[in-house]
Amino acid sequence: MKKTYIIGCLFFLLTSAYGQGYQLSKETPFQPGEKIELKASVGFIRAAEATFSVSDVIYTINNKPTWKIDINAKTVGVFDFFSSVRDNWGTYYDTTQLVPQQFYRYIKEGRFRKNEILYFDHKNDKVTVAKLHKETRRLEKTFEHNIPHNVQDMVSGYYYLRAIDFSKIKEGEVITINTFFDDKEKPFKVKFVGREVIDTKYGNIKAIVLVPMMKKDSLFVEDNTLKVWLSDDLNKIPLKFQAKIYVGYLSVELLNIENLKHPLAIVE
């Protein structure tokens, strides 16, 4: 199994459900200082941990106020011994337009390294991709690409998703999204399949259930095998992921939350 699958899968599935042009909630779903921690397991074996954090500081990028949002992930236990991962994915996310102004990822997976920064120009629908040296992170080369209007990146997309008003989304509706990743546009589709109440360490919480439209591959044994549960409230934080993979069942669960802006939809 490739080193990127457990952590990369987590990122991709969290951030793949974003769209453009959907009706948004009137209130912002998160605030500076928010922190969400997740744990991933394969079967009964703890595999990885990930932290989603919003900086306390508002940064100015392209003359726009932005949140700095980071995802940091690492393997643990046996998975760390055989396939160590230390990844950082981040975005400077425009506080007014809800689009990324800059995206970066610093990947360290075993001997594999990949470092890059994306500079978005939404006015001209272009992005400049800066490829950095795998060790020193010095600039090596740049490429310019055309992008769809208001495209999202791998991190900003999940935070855009959280802003969507799901009371306006019908059960069974497929959300089609525009993404830019790995030097190209990657359209993605995710289906809203309904609502459930699930058990978490914080109690029983109402949840939105999503199924990304994904074909089976070297990780997933079936088409559309992944299910994602987000809290059915203004926060829409990740509560649980579950998928059948070739080495067993991948499960991602909420470990800890800090500084949420809105109350969780806990069932008393």
Higher pLDDT, 22 or 255: 255
Name which of 242, 216, 238, 246 is nearest 227 in CA terms.
242
Count how many domains the chain has: 1
Full-model pTM: 0.87
Higher pLDDT, 14 or 259: 259
| Dihedral sign computed on CA atoms, order 41, 42, 44, 46 | negative
Would residue 268 count as lying in a domain? Answer: no
Burial of 124 (0-12, 13-18, 19+ CB in 10 A): exposed
List the domain range (segments joined by +) for residue 240.
5-258
End-to-end CA distance of the chain: 42
Sort residue 235 into left (φ over 0), alpha (ψ -120 to 50) or beta: alpha
Nearest 5°: phi and psi at 247?
-100, 10
Would residue 63 count as lying in a domain? Answer: yes
Would residue 190 count as lying in a domain? Answer: yes
Summarised one tens digit per residue, pLDDT across range 58-88 is 999 999 999 999 999 999 998 888 889 999 9
Would residue 267 count as lying in a domain? Answer: no
Would residue 101 count as lying in a domain? Answer: yes
Is 32 within 8 Å of 55 (Cβ atoms)? yes
Q: Which residue has the tokens 């058990």?
A: 199
Would residue 84 count as lying in a domain? Answer: yes
Residue 14: the pLDDT is 47
Would residue 266 count as lying in a domain? Answer: no
